[in-house]
């Protein structure tokens, strides 16, 4: 009973959460779900469901997953949103090819002897950076760290001091770009970094104060804009608020930002969300109250039945016997107790019984 109650409560909580995420789910290109057949009923197949079972965006995770914890969810998100690049030499690639071909051949067939690997070519040495170049590399790292960790105060002063360098000069070791191209790359990189890290205060500073361009594709994924990399709904709402306050500043459709979000609309959304959560909490409280009342009622009825049974046992009629009060219907000392004895033994017992009865009468007289 408790298990069914817990499953029902979890299902309702998931469905309420899906309602809160309705806008985010509608804007998603892919939706990854890992659940059992029974567990998928929490996502679709009921009245008012946010998702439809036939939605083409729904996918399963293309790799094994563990228990559904927040840490596991972050791991899966990293696996889905990042590309792994392996740097292999020609010799290593040839070894992999030979091993794959050998695995396809019958086991009885003798394996070909591995050919001698070609000599590795000497890799070109990286030119040593000057002190000034090393300082510039260090400044780029510090800038990225400030954005990623949300150090807004340090970022403001640091940007005011070195903004020209970041917007016009390519970092040492990177391809040399024109000033405009480098500026666009820097803006997109910092917006993407702040969005993916969920640093909302930094993102507001970049969009509202510095007027960074959100329409430039992300350097890590040219098919996405910085808005697409937002970690949370609150981060996406920052883009929408800036779009509402500055509708003519950028082509917000090109930046893939939905319609602007005013303070009134945001307050209304929060109020609706709070109302849904309160309704869900009240419903859970009411269910818990009903369960407790039912349990208390059953316990009371059980106690009443027990007391009634004890009372009936106490009030059951009794009779006086030779050995004190006995309940009616109990085994006595009649002839049924002499079954199995010889006739001589029964006669002797009867004589003794009559003698005791006579003594009892004389004693009363």
Low-confidence ranges of the chain (pLDDT < 70): 1, 100, 104-127, 316-340, 363-365
Question: pLDDT digit string (tens) for 223-277?
Answer: 999 999 998 888 998 999 899 888 898 899 999 998 888 878 777 777 887 888 8
For the chain, domain boundaries: 1-65, 133-261
pLDDT at position 136, please? 85
Give the dihedral sign, CA 151/154/157/160: negative
**Are 184 and 213 within 8 A, CB to CB?**
yes
pLDDT at position 239, please? 92
pLDDT at position 159, please? 92
pLDDT at position 147, please? 92
Task: At 360, list the tokens.
Answer: 């009892």
Question: pLDDT digit string (tens) for 323-355?
Answer: 455 444 444 445 555 666 788 888 888 888 888
Task: At 96, list the tokens.
Answer: 């992999």
Quote the CA–CA distance of 191 and 182 in Å, as a whole number.
14
**Are 202 and 173 within 8 A, CB to CB?**
no
pLDDT at position 364, please? 61
């Amino acid at each position: 009973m408790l298990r069914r109650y817990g499953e029902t409560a979890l299902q309702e909580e998931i469905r309420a959460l899906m309602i809160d995420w309705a806008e985010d789910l509608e804007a998603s290109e892919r939706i990854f779900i890992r659940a059992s057949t029974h567990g998928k009923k929490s996502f679709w197949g009921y009245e008012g469901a946010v998702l439809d079972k036939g939605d083409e965006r729904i996918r399963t995770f293309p790799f094994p997953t563990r228990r559904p914890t927040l840490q596991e969810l972050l791991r899966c998100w990293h696996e889905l949103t990042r590309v792994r690049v392996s740097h292999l030499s020609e010799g290593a690639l040839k070894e992999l090819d030979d091993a794959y071909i050998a695995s396809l051949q019958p086991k009885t067939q003798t394996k070909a002897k591995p050919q001698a690997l070609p000599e590795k070519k000497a890799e070109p040495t990286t030119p040593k950076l000057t002190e000034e170049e090393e300082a510039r590399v260090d400044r780029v790292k510090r800038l990225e760290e400030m954005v990623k960790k949300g150090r807004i105060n340090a970022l403001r002063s640091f940007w005011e001091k070195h903004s020209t360098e970041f917007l016009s000069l390519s970092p040492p070791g990177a391809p040399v770009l024109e000033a405009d191209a480098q500026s666009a790359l820097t803006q997109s990189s910092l917006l993407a970094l702040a969005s993916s890290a969920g640093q909302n205060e930094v993102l507001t500073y970049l969009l509202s104060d510095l007027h960074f361009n959100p329409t430039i594709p992300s350097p890590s994924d040219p098919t996405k804009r910085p808005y697409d990399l937002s970690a949370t709904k609150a981060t996406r709402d920052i883009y929408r608020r800036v779009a509402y306050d500055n509708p003519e500043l950028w082509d917000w459709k090109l930046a893939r930002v939905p319609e602007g979000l005013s303070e009134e609309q945001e307050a209304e959304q929060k109020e609706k969300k709070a109302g849904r959560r309160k309704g869900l909490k009240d419903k859970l409280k009411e269910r818990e109250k009903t369960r407790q009342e039912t349990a208390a009622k059953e316990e009371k009825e059980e106690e009443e039945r027990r007391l009634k049974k004890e009372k009936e046992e106490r009030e059951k009629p009794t009779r006086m016997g030779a050995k004190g009060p006995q309940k009616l219907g109990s085994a006595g000392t009649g002839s049924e107790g002499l079954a199995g004895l010889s006739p001589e033994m029964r006669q002797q017992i009867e004589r003794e019984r009559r003698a005791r009865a006579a003594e009892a009468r004389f004693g009363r007289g």
